[in-house]
């Protein structure tokens, strides 16, 4: 069974990512919340996705947009209450939408009760054993690890010890060698499974286990804090918990690993169900490179019997309309976000439309990051004073951070905040008046109409969703494949139009198509 409504729903699901703070505001304070999501569930049902993934909704000082969790068993008052979350889960289920929530097992907030207890208890205490506290080397931190948000990965506390944080200093890393941490997270999984969630997206899934000798890292060394063998045992125990619940409850890993076959090892039958495919996300706009990354992905996943999960954007990366509209390099890396490189939005939009049809046509599951269905782009000119991402401050402004892809969604109306509360927490550009969900909903040529049509067809056509793909060679700049029964995909990356091959019907196209397919255009054919 491959239908996204059937038992193996996760093998082909289209999953919509809700970044709560920026999705919809229910109480008018300018910050997205659960009431806002509940009021907008119909947008998601009409869009035609199968599931929603909510980024962290737990109590948090919001140093890292909620990825700094102070209590894993409650809801932040900014977002609502536990009772509202339960109501939201039920209302989503009534509409046939499954619910995945974020779990953040690598670290917590410095306001978590366990970190407060560790600070109070002092060096050598069992409370400190839940984290990585170490003496320094003289005045220097215990080793040379760098925080992924910039600066040292260590912060010193008043009694002289240092604690490890791979992210901001307000996100202390848990010590997963301590059995108490394992028991705690197993209990947190049950807490939410008991409340009806259909799965978890696991934050920093490759990072929980550290080499306890905490060695310095030099370029070329194997990482002492990513992809360590001990992780597999953790996920095997999580899988047993997921499998002990009725229905198919799923575990999705967030892993940015350089080697896809290493990532696939986490998708063996008794470990995680799926993991985001980030090689696809970072792929530059080039037919050969896309064909290569798609082939490698499918091969690596086939070896372990897992479905691929395709992603174009999320809350951590530059929105793909902007990436694909950059002159020159359209790839993405955290180290070089190409911030400020000129962008041709018309070009980026044309390509984003083609990329959407590609993603929807590939075997496996796929993700839609809120706002991508409206064709939103990265907002690069946010005033520094309004930037909230700790990346901006920790790099001394060298990296603008991720606020530009987190600007609140425009829902309706002709001026900001476009029905997002009374003033959105980050400023929206006034040209978004043509990009509101309301404006696009009635415009057949909009990005929203394209996503709706693509998702509907994907549900209806037996060739799409889970299954196989066969490549077709139609020349260098053309990406083409067939899927059975009777489906053909074409994307023209080349500089000139390409004649359409024989077909019975044009099912859907990302732009105008006649008997040939123009540059940066994709088409779905009934063959
Ligand atoms: C993941 C999240 C990111 C967060 C980081 C630390 O990469 O996607 O938003 O900042 O983990 O929790
Ligand atoms: Ca609000």
Strands 51-54 and 14-18: parallel
Rounded distance from Cα 275 to ligand 1 centre (Å): 15
Map residue 492 onto helix, strand or coil: strand
Pick the atom of ligand 1 nearest to 68's CA. 12
C-alpha span between 36 and 79 (Å, rounded)? 9
Q: Find out if CATH 3.90.400.10 is the number for domain 113-164.
A: yes
Map residue 353 onto helix, strand or coil: helix
Rounded distance from Cα 29 to ligand 2 centre (Å): 5
Indicate the top mutation candidate among 67, 109, 317 to test ligand 1's pocket, ranked by most ligand atoms within 8 A of CB.
67
Segment holding 367, helix H or strand E = strand 365-369
* Domain 9-107+188-210+231-454, CATH among 3.30.390.50, 3.40.50.2300, 1.20.120.1770, 3.20.20.80: 3.20.20.80
Pick the atom of ligand 1 nearest to 67's CA. 12
Rounded distance from Cα 409 to ligand 2 centre (Å): 13
Place of tokens 């909510």: 54
C-alpha span between 174 and 165 (Å, rounded)? 9
CA angle, 164 then 169 then 172, to 5°: 45
Active site residue 484: no
Q: Give the pLDDT score at 328.
A: 87
Assigned token pair, 266 = 């986490």
How long a stretch of residues is the chain?
527
DSSP labels, 110-167: TTSHHHHHHHHH-TT-TTGGGB-EE--BTTB-SS--B-TTSSBSEEE-TTS-EEE-SS
Identify which of 265, 250, 254 has the alpha carbon closest to the alpha carbon of residue 300: 265
| Helix extents (H) in 19-69 | 34-39, 41-47
Which residues, by Cβ under 5 Å, contact ligand 2, an ion? 25, 27, 29, 31, 33
C-alpha span between 361 and 31 (Å, rounded)? 35
Q: Give the pLDDT score at 3.
A: 60
Pick the atom of ligand 1 nearest to 107's CA. 12
Assigned token pair, 277 = 């495919």
Residue 64 beta carbon below 6 angstroms from any ligand 1 atom: yes
Residue 332 beta carbon below 6 angstroms from any ligand 1 atom: no
Strands 199-202 and 487-492: unpaired
Dihedral of the CA atoms 415, 418, 421, 423 (nearest 10)?
-40
Residue 166 beta carbon below 6 angstroms from any ligand 1 atom: no
Map residue 487 onto helix, strand or coil: strand
Rounded distance from Cα 404 to ligand 2 centre (Å): 20
Strand partners, 505: 526
Each residue's pLDDT expressed in tens, for the chain with a length of 527 residues: 346 766 799 999 999 999 999 999 999 999 999 999 999 999 999 999 999 999 999 999 999 999 999 999 999 999 999 999 999 999 999 999 999 999 999 999 999 999 999 999 999 999 999 999 999 999 999 999 999 999 999 999 999 999 999 999 999 999 999 999 999 999 999 999 999 999 999 999 999 999 999 999 999 999 999 999 999 999 999 999 999 999 999 999 999 999 999 999 999 999 999 999 999 999 999 999 999 999 999 999 999 999 999 999 999 999 999 999 998 899 999 988 999 899 999 999 999 999 999 999 999 999 999 999 999 999 999 999 999 999 999 999 999 999 999 999 999 999 999 999 999 999 999 999 999 999 999 999 999 999 999 999 999 999 999 999 999 999 999 999 999 999 999 999 999 999 999 999 999 999 999 999 999 999 999 99
Q: Give the pLDDT score at 327.
A: 86
Name the catalytic one among 63, 203, 206, 279: 203
Identify which of 430, 424, 387, 389 has the alpha carbon closest to the alpha carbon of residue 409: 424
Q: Give the pLDDT score at 219.
A: 93
Give residue limits of the domains in the chain.
9-107+188-210+231-454, 113-164, 469-526
Residue 203 beta carbon below 6 angstroms from any ligand 1 atom: yes
Pick the atom of ligand 1 nearest to 149's CA. 10
Name the catalytic one among 64, 84, 254, 271: 254
Residue 67 beta carbon below 6 angstroms from any ligand 1 atom: yes
Which amino acid residue places its CA nearest to atom 3 of ligand 1? 316
Cβ distance 28 to 419 under 8 Å? no
C-alpha span between 15 and 67 (Å, rounded)? 20
Furthest-apart CA atoms within the chain: distance in Å? 75
In terms of Cβ atoms closer than 10 Å to its own Cβ (0-12, 13-18, 19+), residue 366 is: buried
Strand partners, 478: 492
Query: Minimum-distance ligand to the CA of 84?
Result: 2
Q: Give the pLDDT score at 1.
A: 37
Active site residue 254: yes
Q: How is domain 469-526 classified at the architecture level of CATH?
A: Sandwich (2.60)
C-alpha span between 428 and 418 (Å, rounded)? 9
Q: Give the pLDDT score at 77.
A: 98
Which amino acid residue places its CA nearest to atom 2 of ligand 1? 203
Indicate the top mutation candidate among 19, 201, 203 to test ligand 1's pocket, ranked by most ligand atoms within 8 A of CB.
203
């Amino acid at each position: 069974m491959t239908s996204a409504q059937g038992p193996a729903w996760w093998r082909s699901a289209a999953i919509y990512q809700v970044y709560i703070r920026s999705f919809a505001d229910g109480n008018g304070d300018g910050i997205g919340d659960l009431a806002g999501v509940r009021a907008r569930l119909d947008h998601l049902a009409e869009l035609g996705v199968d599931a929603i993934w909510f980024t962290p909704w737990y109590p948090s000082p919001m140093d890292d947009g909620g990825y700094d969790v102070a209590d894993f068993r409650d809801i932040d008052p900014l977002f609502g209450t536990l009772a509202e979350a339960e109501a939201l889960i039920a209302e989503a289920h009534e509409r046939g939408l499954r619910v995945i929530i974020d779990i953040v097992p690598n670290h917590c907030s410095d306001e978590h009760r366990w970190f407060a207890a560790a600070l109070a208890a002092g060096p050598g205490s069992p409370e400190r054993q839940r984290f990585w506290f170490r003496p320094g080397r003289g005045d220097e931190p215990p080793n040379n690890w760098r925080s992924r948000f910039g600066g040292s990965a260590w912060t010193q506390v008043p009694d002289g010890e240092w604690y490890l944080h791979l992210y901001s200093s307000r996100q202390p890393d848990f010590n997963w060698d301590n059995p108490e941490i394992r028991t705690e997270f197993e209990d947190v999984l049950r807490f939410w499974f008991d409340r009806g969630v259909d799965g978890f997206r696991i934050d920093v899934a490759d990072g929980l286990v550290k080499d306890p000798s905490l060695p310095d890292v030099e370029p070329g060394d194997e990482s002492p804090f990513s992809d360590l063998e001990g992780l597999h045992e953790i996920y095997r125990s999580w899988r047993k918990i997921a499998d002990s619940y009725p229905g198919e409850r799923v575990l999705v890993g967030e892993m940015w690993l350089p080697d896809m076959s290493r990532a696939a090892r986490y998708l063996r039958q008794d470990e995680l169900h799926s993991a985001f495919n980030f090689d696809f996300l970072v792929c530059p706009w080039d037919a050969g490179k896309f064909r290569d990354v798609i082939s490698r992905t499918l091969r690596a996943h086939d070896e372990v019997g897992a479905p691929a999960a395709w992603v174009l954007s999320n809350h951590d990366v530059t929105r793909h309309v902007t990436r694909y509209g950059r002159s020159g390099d359209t790839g993405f890396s955290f180290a070089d976000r190409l911030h400020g490189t000129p962008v041709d939005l018309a070009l980026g939009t044309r390509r984003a439309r083609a990329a959407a049809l590609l993603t929807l046509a590939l075997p496996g599951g796929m993700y839609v990051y809120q706002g991508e269905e409206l064709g939103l782009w990265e907002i690069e000119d946010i005033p520094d004073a309004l930037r909230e991402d700790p990346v901006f401050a920790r790099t001394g402004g060298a990296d603008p951070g991720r606020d530009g892809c987190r600007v609140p969604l425009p829902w309706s109306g002709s001026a900001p905040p476009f029905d997002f509360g009374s003033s959105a927490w980050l400023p929206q550009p006034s040209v978004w008046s043509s990009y509101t969900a309301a404006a696009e909903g009635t415009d057949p040529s909009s990005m929203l109409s394209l996503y709706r049509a693509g998702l509907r067809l994907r549900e209806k056509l037996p060739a799409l969703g889970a299954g196989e793909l066969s490549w077709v060679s139609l020349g260098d700049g053309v990406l083409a494949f067939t899927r059975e029964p009777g489906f053909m995909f074409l994307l023209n990356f080349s500089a000139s139009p390409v004649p359409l091959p024989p077909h019975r019907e044009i099912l859907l196209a990302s732009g105008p198509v006649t008997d040939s397919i123009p540059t940066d255009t994709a088409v779905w054919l009934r063959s």
